[in-house]
Chain A
Amino acid sequence: MTAPNEKEPKSAGVVGKSISRSDGVAKVLGTARYVDDLPALPGEIHGATVRSPVPRGRIRSVRFDPSFDWSDVIVVQASDVPVNVVALIADDQPVLAAKQVNHAYEPIVLLACADRRKLTLAKLAVHLDIEPLVPVLDVATALEGSNVVWTAPAGFGEPNTNVVKRYVLTKGEVDVDAELARCAHVLSGAYSTHHQEQLYIEPQGVLSWWDDDGVHLVGSMQCPFYVHKALVKAFALEPHQVDVAQAVTGGGFGGKEEYPSILAIHAALLSRKSGRPVRMIYDRTEDIEATTKRHPCLCEITTGCDADGTLRVLKMRVVMDAGAYVTLTPVVLSRGLLHAAGTYRWPNVFMEAIAVATNTPPNGAFRGFGAPQTIWAIERHMDALAAYLGTDPMVLKRKNVLVEGDTTATGQLLRTSVSSLECLDKGSSASRYVERRAEIEKENRRRAQRGERKRLGIGASIFMHGAGFTGSGERVLQGKAAVDLLPGGRLRIRTASTDIGQGTETVFRQIASDACGVAVEDIDFAVPSTKVVPNSGPTVASRTVMVVGSVVEACAREIGDRVKTEQVEQGGTFAEAADRLLVKEGSVTALHQYEPPPFVHWDDEAYKGDAYPCFAWMCDVAEVEVDLDTFETDVKKLYLIGDVGKAIHPTMCKGQLEGGSLQAMGWALFEEVVWKDGLIQNPRMTNYIIPTALDAPVFDTTLVECPFPYGPGGGAKGIGELPMDGGAPAIAAAVEHATGIAVHHLPLTPERLFEASLGRLSPTSTFHPAA
């Protein structure tokens, strides 16, 4: 507490210190209440979902087994939904399928019952009669277009095709093919990536009830206002009739960005029909089957460079699999495209990005949001180019890396906070890249001579991630935050930014504390509830600290100034002045709205301009050991050099970089959604494998601070997604160094590495020096 005898509030000076996380004690005691931990409400019952067993078909009928006792089971079907739409971007996804199903696991019937066992039996007593239709299950078939499986809502996609979204991005020479012909070296390659499941350890879940005010919903989520919007639409309610609050959330990684909306509507439908509170908690299998995943992606690249390796032309096509509905695909595709040129200087660019619909569950937000897919491609391509030119990849990358004053593929002038070169150099020195490469090669020769079957390798990636919404997004969104003055000189922060583990609560307190001088313990963080907090925009896009944090900072500064003015005029302590102000004014609140830096200009039509206010930069260096008999890859060490602008909380920054990098490693090596006829073959933790503590490498993490002048706390940038982007290509480069096998298609499972070693999955690069 602020000591009453202090003349001035103690300048907390907590930014940059790794203070104890404010939600930590409840989490280690086991008293933090996640949605499944909330005490049952009176009369509460459980909800469940009956889903399509086929990827595409016409619903002929839904029969309810007459021998089953349905008396205490609530049944909801499409006809019960007031407006059968999950509001998001294109509004093409129904809450419940009515006549047709477009992907396996699409929800058709909802059930609720007080008795969980009976509920399970009730699901089995619902018989779906679905006439199967020929599905489209892969991107190539979808693009080819003879079987159109998606109906474009007005204003979306390309009519009578499966194309959900298309962008074109150009820079420099109009005729890139002519420019390619003028290059000394031209190299082409294709690079693909696969689905990835977020696999937050807490499955999706919500609790809903209705009263005279309208509908209430508490759940595991990233974006309460997305859920709010979806409930307003589906039930045709007024905004004030919908109240959505976040429960403590056990991880999201994008998986709880848009998906909770449909689950929330389901629970609210059951609750409305039954007149009782309804809780729906997915089990792991349902969660893996039904929820969104990372978009699979295929990138085809042709580049041209000078004889000395100076890059001249990038020609690229990015194709993503949207799944059966649009969800957030246009934005994911956009971010993928905007990162596809990597951290390199390209005078001439032609890029096309296309998303197509297929009859697979809709893909959606996942940490990195399209960028990991395209950065995988460009980094692997740069490695291939280095091999072709006979130079070390790090040398080639360093030669072409973007620096301050350069322009990106969208023509964005990199004005400030550009640390790509610094990260690359620090990565090289921290890992002793050059020396280790030589040592490893010597060691591998020794091992080969002795007939040993394990090989070492070292590889690197250099990458960036744009912080905040793409282009004009932040200007359109107008994210708001508020800070209230409370009695005794305390503060309360109100934002819609959720803490899903990344530490929002703690970091916002630190920012506010330094902005107004109130001690961090004297600052509360309001539960993100749509009735209480202003709409700060969603908790996505690495925007929480940089964008919303800067608004919180402005609010706290305003409150601090007002109290200090009162103090100067009338004397007393900060707390006394605060109390006087509260008596005088009734309530003291600062509400601010995000204002992007004045130089940010973006042209949505031409796809040119400042794609992001700034970028965070990072270099990964991986050391691996590969067993040549089993083709298992062991990542021994991962050096992470990440530019966070300003580390508000260094330990949490490292936690973000390491956690994101391990997800990237999982994606690179083990994680694979196995499909058969549109159905997932491994929807369990026993067969969808994520890294354990033993699989995880030792991390050597360095925080670089290259401040962004408009960031809070002295220049913080968004870094939540950044680490997801570069882990896979660094590991693949190390595997290539160890084995000589250049893999261009993820994941690098032992089976695929083995196939690649036989040349069956040989890199598809074809190079042809220009005439």
Chain B
Amino acid sequence: MLIRFRLNGETREIDVAPMRRLLDVLRLDLRLTGTKEGCGEGECGSCTVLLDGDAVNACMVVIGQCDGREITSVEGLGSEKHLAPIQRAFVTDGGAQCGICTPGVLVAAESLLRRNAAPSDEQIREALAGNLCRCTGYERIVESVRVAAVERATLARSKTSNGSPASQRGTKSGAPQ
């Protein structure tokens, strides 16, 4: 079946069986291995991607459901030269240890910050409750999200004050900011 969707801002068209998991299509067919598999049953969140802006577990979504929709994976958040604020914060503030949960956590956190620019610690914990991390104890993750929220706010302010278009340091995904 021919399926069309936007992935990280680009239009993609692939011919695959509609019942295949989005996770496998991303990892195997499209070779985007940033999205991880930790359990395969919707429990760990390491496969989190955004589907039309909402965080979903890619192991629980079949590709047929994605027709005509917008998907953002960790690869869509930033690039080596221009890390998204959420990515930079995880590097500087200890949010990532072994890193296997990190792509999913980043995507879930990005989705939160798009909805809520200044979340409380409790809201951060709630938004990440579906993303298991066995390394950090979550304290540095919460801290990293907090740092990223401040950074995003600073960027947004500088954007409005100097009227420049979207900062290069911001996310470059095609999803609405």
Which stretch of B61-69, B74-82, B158-166 is in the interface?
Answer: B74-82
Q: Within the assembled complex, what's the spacing in Å between the Cα atoms of A651 and B140?
A: 8
A663 within 8 A of B: yes
Whether B137 pairs with A662 at a CB distance below 8 angstroms is yes
B53 within 8 A of A: no
Whether A652 pairs with B87 at a CB distance below 8 angstroms is no
B153 within 8 A of A: no
Q: Within the assembled complex, what's the spacing in Å between the Cα atoms of A662 and B142?
A: 14
Whether B78 pairs with A201 at a CB distance below 8 angstroms is no
Whether B100 pairs with A202 at a CB distance below 8 angstroms is yes
Q: Within the assembled complex, what's the spacing in Å between the Cα atoms of A685 and B34?
A: 21
B residues contacting A by CB (< 8 A) are: 27, 31-41, 43-44, 46, 73-75, 77-80, 83, 87-88, 90-94, 96-103, 106, 121, 124-126, 128-142
Q: Within the assembled complex, what's the spacing in Å between the Cα atoms of A701 and B73?
A: 33
A27 within 8 A of B: yes
Whether A202 pairs with B36 at a CB distance below 8 angstroms is yes
A5 within 8 A of B: no
Whether B129 pairs with A18 at a CB distance below 8 angstroms is no
Whether B97 pairs with A690 at a CB distance below 8 angstroms is no
Whether B43 pairs with A28 at a CB distance below 8 angstroms is no
Q: Within the assembled complex, what's the spacing in Å between the Cα atoms of A198 and B135?
A: 11
Whether B140 pairs with A658 at a CB distance below 8 angstroms is yes
Q: Which of A26, A28, A660, A686 contacts B106 (CB 8 A)?
A: A28
Whether A503 pairs with B97 at a CB distance below 8 angstroms is yes
A34 within 8 A of B: yes
On whether A655 and B137 interact (CB within 8 A), knowing A27-B102, A28-B87, A685-B43, the answer reads yes
- Shortest distance from the beta carbon of B151 to any chain A beta carbon, whole Å: 14
Collect the chain A residues with CB atoms within 8 Å of residue B135's CB. Answer: 251, 501, 655, 659
Within 8 A of B (CB), among A647-687: 651-652, 654-655, 657-663, 684-686
Whether B139 pairs with A701 at a CB distance below 8 angstroms is yes
- Shortest distance from the beta carbon of A339 to any chain B beta carbon, whole Å: 22
Q: List the A residue with the shortest CB-CB distance to B128.
A: A693
What are 25 A-B residue pairs whose CB atoms fall within 8 Å in the complex?
A: A24-B99, A27-B90, A29-B74, A36-B36, A37-B33, A201-B38, A201-B46, A201-B101, A250-B36, A250-B101, A284-B41, A501-B99, A501-B135, A651-B93, A655-B137, A658-B138, A658-B140, A659-B134, A659-B136, A661-B137, A684-B43, A692-B129, A692-B130, A693-B128, A696-B125
Within 8 A of B (CB), among A37-52: 37, 39
Task: List 17 additional A-B contacts (Cβ < 8 Å) besides A662-B137, A685-B38, A699-B137.
Answer: A25-B87, A28-B74, A28-B83, A28-B90, A200-B100, A201-B36, A201-B38, A201-B98, A501-B99, A654-B139, A654-B140, A655-B137, A661-B137, A685-B41, A686-B43, A692-B132, A693-B125
Collect the chain B residues with CB atoms within 8 Å of residue A652's CB. Answer: 94
Q: List the B residue with the shortest CB-CB distance to A39.
A: B31
Collect the chain A residues with CB atoms within 8 Å of residue B83's CB. Answer: 25, 28-29
Q: Which of A201, A655, A694, A699 contacts B126 (CB 8 A)?
A: A694
Q: List the B residue with the shortest CB-CB distance to A499.
A: B98
A513 within 8 A of B: no
Whether A36 pairs with B37 at a CB distance below 8 angstroms is yes
